[in-house]
Amino acid sequence: MKRFYIIITLVSFVVFSFLILRTYEKEIFGFNQISSKEYDGNNVEIKRDKYNLRNFEWSGIFPLYGGFISDPHFLYSEPVDVKEYLSSVFHDKSVRYQLIDVNPFFNNKTSENILAMEIEGFPYEYRLRVPEDSYLSTLQHDEPMSVFLYNEDTLYFVLQYGFSEGEFLIYEVGSPFAEDKELNYELIDIRESRIPESLDFPLSQDQIDKLITHTYSSFYQLYTQYLNPDYAKNQVEAQKDSRIHLPVYYGANLNINRNEMKSIRNEEFNLRVQNRYEFITSRQNVEITNSPDYEKITIKSLHSNYYDFSFLGDSFESSEFSIRNETKLVLIDHDYRDRLLSYIDQYKKLRKNETKTTSYFTEKTPFKVEIITQFNDEMTIDRSVLSALIFPNAFPQTRKSMNSTEYALPNNAFEHLFILDFNDGYSLKLSYTEVQKLEDYLREIK
């Protein structure tokens, strides 16, 4: 019994000592801080007091491997220079911002989401409040999932909320900017909410461009479907100054759950419904026009959207489908015209050399296009990426490409097709004659 009391006393002493050390750690061990610049010298600097006992948490499998998580620790996005973009707000001062999460692995009251601003070399912290009972990770993106909008001298920091592309947190940042502050949020859902008064102001062209060209498509949708719901309509109704018609092969995927369709075959093209196989192929005329007001080239085609089936037979030919006839319009910005011409030039050289392999024309910077889908009075718009490749010949009827798409081609298809794949479930295939006509048209555009 005596030994038991001794053990209880020792354990109590150890626990009490630990609690005392934890409570008065700063007074006992002195003052020390950790800077975000110790992680990366290019970071906007924020500092936090160092603790050894406040968050006593192990990373890994205790005690086999891992270690105690540092308190504090930081995760961060890359800093973004916004001097030029926000020059009217900050009067040409040098400005950078960065999203930094403090103690994200603890996910407790010591965790913070910080909008770190560096103005003329001096750092300031804007602590971002987030919805209750949720933790917002803003981490580890080359470009933050955020954007600044501004109206006169007021900034609005727009941050994508969680993993939903339709939800955003809006933070109003008023002057003075050169001070630490805590920011409250307004949560919007572009699929449900009305435009809040804070964002109900006309955007300058540089703000529109920032949203339209943002790395993350959610900000493109924020503008085209929410802040300017007439965007797609205006593109369609824009005045056109020239047009051509090209006969091309049009190919598309079935827009049906592939788990339900996996046993279906298309005998004409010897295809099964899996991966990204094309099933719909037709010869049709597409219209190509130029809009000088918006500086965009539009490719217009008809699309049969196989969105459901009413009877599932043994093959594509013996099955019955629900079909919605839509119009697809691909918008190509004039800035990409020279790149498309360079792809055509590569295609012509490979064709001349009688290449026997499928070749992709790729670059590090994506070739971004906008795609409008029209059905009756409905109109939707989204952003996609164009992939261009040369398809050496039509035999055998199908060839697998590097992106797992198998392009369906009829027996009488031309050799050395130039394929424009819009990564939206369909593609256009041009013969050499059509490629020449497209090239001539692109070179005539001013």
DSSP string computed for 11-58: HHHHHHHHHHHHHTHHHHH---EEEGGGT-TTSPP-EEE-BSSSS--E
Question: Does 17 map to a domain?
Answer: no
Asked if the structure places residue 106 within a domain, the reply is: yes
Q: What is the pLDDT of residue 399?
A: 46
Q: Identify the pLDDT of residue 210.
A: 93
Task: Note whether 224 and 258 are same-domain residues.
Answer: no
Distance (Å) of CA 268 to CA 83, 203, 242, 316: 58, 52, 38, 9
CA atoms of 168 and 161, how far apart (whole Å)? 5
Torsion on CA atoms 410, 415, 421, 426, rounded to nearest 10: -10
Domains in the chain, number: 2
What's the CA gap between 173 and 148, in Å, rounded? 10
3 occurs within a structural domain: no
Distance CA 65, CA 56 (A): 16
Containing H/E element for 90? helix 87-90
Tokens standing for residue 243: 């047009």
- Say whether both 258 and 220 belong to one domain: no
d(CA 250, CA 303): 9
Rg over CA atoms, the chain: 29
Q: Give the domain extent around 106.
A: 32-229
- 329 plus 354 within the same structural domain: yes
User: What confidence tens digit (pLDDT) does each residue in 82-102 have?
Assistant: 999 999 999 999 999 999 999
Residues in the chain where the model's pLDDT stays below 70: 1-2, 4-7, 9-31, 133-143, 163-164, 258-259, 261-263, 267-276, 393-405, 410-412, 446
Q: Dihedral of the CA atoms 217, 220, 225, 228 (nearest 10)?
A: 180
Give the residue among 373, 338, 340, 336 at the shortest CA–CA distance from 235: 373
Burial class (CB in 10 A: 0-12, 13-18, 19+), 355: middle
The predicted pLDDT at position 382 comes to 93
Q: What is the pLDDT of residue 415?
A: 80
d(CA 36, CA 47): 6
- Is the model's pTM score more than 0.85? no
**Residue 2 resides in a domain:** no
CA distance 132 to 185: 11
Predicted local confidence at residue 279, as pLDDT: 74
> How many CA atoms lie less than 13 Å away from 294 in the CB half-sphere?
22
DSSP, collapsed to helix, strand or coil, labels residue 200 as coil
* Residue at a domain's end among 171, 198, 229: 229
Return the HEC string of 300-348. Answer: EEEEEEEEEEEECCCCCCCCEEEEEEEEEEEEEEHHHHHHHHHHHHHHH
225 and 236 in a common domain: no
pLDDT of residue 319: 83
Q: Rounded to an integer, what distance in angstroms lies between the CA atom of residue 218 and that of residue 142?
A: 16
In contact, 161 and 169? CB cutoff 8 Å: yes
Same domain as 237, residue 224? no
Q: Quick one: 158 and 255 in the same domain?
A: no
Report the pLDDT value the prediction gives residue 398, as an integer from 0 to 100. 45
pLDDT at 264: 74
* Residue ending a domain, choose from 229, 263, 279: 229
> What does the pLDDT read at residue 300?
96
Q: Which of 229, 251, 277 is the last residue of a domain?
A: 229
